Amino acid sequence: MSVTDTPLISLRAASFGYADRRVVDGVSLSQGRGEVIALLGPNGSGKTTLVKGLLGLSDHLGGEVLLFGTPLARFRDRPRIGYVPQRHSLSASVRATVREVVEVGRLTRRPWWRPAGTADATAVDEALDAVGLRDREREDVSALSGGQQRRVLIARALAARPDLLVMDEPTAGVDAANQRILADVLSALAARGTSMLIVTHELAALHEVVTRIVCMDGGHVDYDGTPRDYLATHRGHEVGDGHHHHDAPDGPGARTPGMAAIAGDPLPPREV
Q: Provide the binding-site residues for ligand ADP, judged by CB under 6 A.
A: 18, 21, 23, 41, 43-49
Would you say 57 or 94 has its CB closer to ligand ADP? 57
Would you say 41 or 82 has its CB closer to ligand ADP? 41
Would you say 31 or 148 has its CB closer to ligand ADP? 31
From the CB of 225, what's the least distance to ligand ADP, in Å? 19
Would you say 123 or 254 has its CB closer to ligand ADP? 254
From the CB of 21, what's the least distance to ligand ADP, in Å? 5
CA torsion, ordered 171, 30, 79, 102, to nearest 10 deg: -20
231 alpha-carbon distance from chain centroid: 20
Amino acid letter, residue 250: D
From the CB of 116, what's the least distance to ligand ADP, in Å? 34
Sheet containing 59-67: give its strands across.
21-31, 9-18, 59-67, 70-71
Query: Is 54:33 a contact under the CB 8 Å cutoff?
Result: no
From the CB of 270, what's the least distance to ligand ADP, in Å? 25
The length of the chain is 272
CA dist 192 and 215 (Å) reads: 25
Which is it for the CA torsion 142, 144, 145, 150, positive or negative?
negative
68: left (phi over 0), alpha (psi -120 to 50) or beta: left
Query: Is 236:181 a contact under the CB 8 Å cutoff?
Result: no
Would you say 46 or 258 has its CB closer to ligand ADP? 46
CA dist 172 and 201 (Å) reads: 8
From the CB of 125, what's the least distance to ligand ADP, in Å? 33
Would you say 32 or 41 has its CB closer to ligand ADP? 41
From the CB of 230, what's the least distance to ligand ADP, in Å? 17
